């Protein structure tokens, strides 16, 4: 059954903790002097494998600073123009600053433009973060090369409660006295997880809309897009029925013929997953804080599972989406247990209590004996034991002990404040009278009530 297929949970801040040091070095609109630039480049060298070119000794630093400032203004102007082009549906304006020599880029940018217009952002803006140095990019494009990390800040109506940020890397060159965008993929490997792999970055899409649902599929994949939108609406209904949190958002589901979308990797680490919910950030990890600020989540469907998407699977993922913006610090056993709790309540409503009782007994008999404690965050998704089943059992047990409303409040408290083990222990103990250790002991002696 799809609900028992391991689904990747909300990556949350946890997956980002090991993020490249480079991301922490944000210039935020500061005009770099050559000296600053060198220092920063040295600091980044370990992460980006690049070096700063030596400053031209014959030129006065003030002239270089002036040139850098002029370049910043020129690039800002291009970025503003491109955002305006999307908001006014003006393709010619969007393509106006592309390098005419790069025909492939032009074709790809036409598709990108059509996709961005189809999504229909209420807010869209691009800004320059810091310059990056890469000898091979410099060699390919010449001495005027300007490789820069770009922050794309956008808001999809109803889906994003606040503007969110994603990263890009653009290569500009100066030719005939003006700046041109000549590549948009030369920094991809040095960006954070899932950068430049957003729903609109991967080929021509179409958007299917329902009440509180937005589904992105390949252009022409209309029937499947509509079917997924229907299932998502039902999954959303289950979440609002079985999870007490009042969530009013819309669900963004991406179902493309791609194994890597955002930070989902269905070709390797997420290969067993039918779907995964990845985090959106109002402030990226490293931008203002190490963990970033979580804004919400988007659902990505495994391309091989697109025909098997049902409301049971989606109710699991939508539970993650509905709880994503609470903070993301809840333990994974609670996040996955709550998502499984909601989807199994949906199964129970359809097929009666028999199947749930049978499954619960299997978890008690087979899964619990394989573990010696509640599954920890570390290695959760790599664990070969049925950590989803055990997490589900833990939430079932807590619902029986303190009631669903109290479990939901426990979840919110954990998501907001469970930043370390001591905080998690304190929250769990004060709200349930149990520690993780005594909760585990309770599960090992738990006999489901019939």
Give the residue with the Cβ less far from Zn ion, 172 or 333.
333
DSSP state of 53: P
Q: How far is the CB of 72 from Zn ion (least distance, A)?
A: 42
Q: Is 9 in the site for Zn ion (CB under 5 A)?
A: yes
* C-beta closer to Zn ion: residue 6 or 292: 6
Shortest Cβ distance from residue 394 to Zn ion (Å)? Answer: 14
- Which residues are within 8 A (CB) of 436 and not within 5 positions of it... i.e. 6 or more apart? 373, 374, 424, 425, 428
CB–CB of 41/52 below 8 Å? yes
Pick between residue 7 and residue 182 the one whose CB is nearest to Zn ion: 7
Among positions 208-267, residues that touch Zn ion (CB under 5 A) are none
Return the number of other C-beta atoms located less than 10 Å from residue 331's C-beta. Answer: 25
The rounded distance, in Å, linking the Cα atoms of 75 and 64 is 16
Taking CB under 5 A as the binding criterion, the range among 6-14, 35-43, 305-313, 342-350 that sits at the site for Zn ion is: 6-14
CB-CB contact of 146 with 71 (8 Å): yes
> Smaller CB distance to Zn ion: residue 119 or 228?
228
Backbone angles phi, psi at 182, to 5 degrees: -110, -15
Neighbouring C-beta atoms of residue 46, cutoff 10 Å: 10
User: Which of the stretches 4-12, 113-121, 166-174, 403-411 binds Zn ion when contact is defined by CB under 5 A?
Assistant: 4-12
Tokens of 414: 């954990």
Please report, for residues 271, 325, 331, 335, 435, the alpha-carbon distance to residue 404 in angstroms, rounded to integers and kept in the order given.
33, 20, 18, 14, 18
Output the smallest distance, CB 2 to Zn ion, in A: 12
Q: How far is 32 from 279, CA to CA, in rounded Å?
A: 32
223 and 204 in contact (C-beta within 8 Å)? no
Strand 264-265 and strand 205-210: the pairing is unpaired
**Span of 1-9, 147-155, 234-242, 289-297 interacting with Zn ion by CB under 5 A:** 1-9
C-beta of 134 vs 273, nearer to Zn ion: 273
Question: Residue 336 CB, nearest distance to Zn ion (Å)?
Answer: 5
Count residues binding Zn ion (CB under 5 A).
4
* 7 binding Zn ion? (CB under 5 A): yes
DSSP state, 33? P
Quick one: which segment of 42-50, 301-309, 333-341, 370-378 binds Zn ion (CB under 5 A)? 333-341
Q: Do 160 and 154 form a contact (C-beta atoms < 8 A)?
A: yes
Min separation Cβ 277 and Zn ion, Å: 7
Q: How far is the CB of 276 from Zn ion (least distance, A)?
A: 8
The residue length of the chain stands at 450
Contact present, 253 and 314 (Cβ < 8 Å): yes
With contact defined as beta carbons under 8 Å apart, do 304 and 359 qualify?
Answer: no
- Residue 418 Cβ vs Zn ion, minimum distance, rounded to whole Å: 17
Instruction: Select the residue interacting with Zn ion from 119, 152, 168, 339 (CB under 5 A).
Output: 339
Pick 190 or 270: Cβ nearer Zn ion: 270
Which range, of 5-13, 28-36, 215-223, 363-371, touches Zn ion by CB under 5 A? 5-13
Residue 7 or residue 102: which is nearer to Zn ion going by CB? Answer: 7
Nearer to Zn ion, 253 or 339 (CB): 339
DSSP state for residue 8 in the 8-state scheme: B
Q: Which stretch binds Zn ion (CB under 5 A): 3-11, 73-81, 169-177, 233-241?
A: 3-11
What's phi and psi for 12, nearest 5 deg? Answer: 60, -170
Tokens of 356: 């749930």
Q: Which stretch binds Zn ion (CB under 5 A): 97-105, 192-200, 262-270, 330-338?
A: 330-338
Tell me how far, at minimum, the Cβ of 302 lies from Zn ion, in Å.
13
Record the tokens describing residue 339, joined without a space: 């998502």
| 249 beta partners | none
Name which of 151 and 275 has its Cβ closer to Zn ion: 275
Tell me the residue nearest to Zn ion as measured from the CB: 7
Question: Is 292 among the residues that bind Zn ion (CB under 5 A)?
Answer: no
Cβ at position 7, least distance to Zn ion in Å? 4
Cβ closest to Zn ion, residue 12 vs residue 169: 12
Q: Which range, of 119-127, 165-173, 305-313, 331-339, touches Zn ion by CB under 5 A?
A: 331-339
Task: Name the one residue in this structure whose structure tokens are 């897009």.
Answer: 225
Pseudo-torsion of CA 288, 283, 128, 21, nearest 10°? 60
**Least distance (Å) from Zn ion to the CB of residue 323?**
11
Rounded to a whole number of angstroms, the minimum distance from the CB of residue 241 to Zn ion is: 19
Toward Zn ion, which CB reaches closer, 147 or 387? 387
3-state SS, residue 12: coil
| 8 token code pair | 């990747």
Tell me which residues touch Zn ion (CB under 5 A): 7, 9, 336, 339
């Amino acid at each position: 059954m799809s609900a028992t297929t391991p689904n990747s949970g909300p990556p949350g801040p946890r997956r980002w903790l090991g993020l490249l040091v480079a991301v922490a070095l944000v210039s935020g609109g500061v005009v770099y002097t050559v000296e600053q630039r060198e220092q920063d480049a040295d600091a980044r060298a370990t992460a980006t494998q690049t070096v700063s070119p030596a400053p031209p000794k014959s030129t006065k630093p003030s002239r270089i600073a002036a040139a850098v400032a002029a370049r910043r203004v020129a690039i800002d102007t291009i970025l503003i123009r491109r955002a305006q082009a999307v908001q006014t549906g003006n393709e010619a304006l969007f393509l106006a600053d592309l390098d005419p020599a790069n025909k492939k880029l032009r074709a790809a940018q036409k598709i990108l433009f059509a996709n961005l217009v189809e999504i229909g952002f209420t807010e869209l803006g691009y800004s320059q973060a810091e310059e990056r140095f890469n000898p091979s990019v410099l060699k390919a494009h010449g001495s005027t090369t300007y490789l820069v990390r770009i922050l794309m800040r956008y808001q999809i109506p109803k889906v994003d409660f606040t503007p969110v940020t994603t990263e890009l890397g653009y290569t500009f060159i100066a030719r005939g006295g003006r700046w041109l965008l000549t590549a948009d993929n030369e920094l991809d490997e040095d960006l954070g997880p899932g950068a430049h792999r957003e729903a609109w970055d991967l080929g021509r899409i179409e958007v299917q809309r329902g009440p509180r649902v937005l589904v992105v599929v390949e252009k022409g994949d209309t029937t499947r897009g509509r079917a997924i939108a229907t299932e998502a609406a039902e999954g959303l209904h289950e979440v609002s029925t079985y999870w007490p949190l009042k969530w009013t958002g819309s669900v963004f589901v991406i179902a493309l013929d791609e194994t890597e979308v955002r930070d989902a990797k269905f070709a390797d680490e997420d290969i067993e997953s039918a779907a995964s919910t990845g985090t959106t950030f109002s402030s990226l990890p490293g931008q203002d804080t190490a963990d970033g600020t979580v804004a919400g989540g988007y659902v990505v469907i495994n391309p091989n599972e697109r025909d098997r998407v049902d409301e049971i699977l989606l109710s699991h993922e939508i539970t993650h989406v509905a709880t994503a913006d609470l903070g993301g610090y809840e333990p994974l056993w609670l996040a996955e247990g709550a998502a499984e709790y909601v989807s199994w309540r949906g199964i129970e409503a359809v097929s009666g209590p028999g199947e749930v009782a049978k499954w619960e007994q299997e978890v008690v008999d087979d899964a619990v004996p394989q573990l010696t404690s509640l599954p920890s965050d570390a290695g959760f998704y790599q664990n070969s034991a049925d950590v989803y089943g055990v997490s589900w059992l833990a939430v079932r047990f807590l619902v029986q002990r303190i009631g669903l409303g109290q479990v939901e409040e426990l979840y919110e408290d954990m998501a907001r404040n469970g930043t370390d083990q001591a905080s998690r222990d304190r929250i769990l103990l004060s709200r349930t009278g149990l520690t993780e250790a005594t909760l585990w002991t309770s599960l090992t002696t738990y006999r489901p009530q019939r």
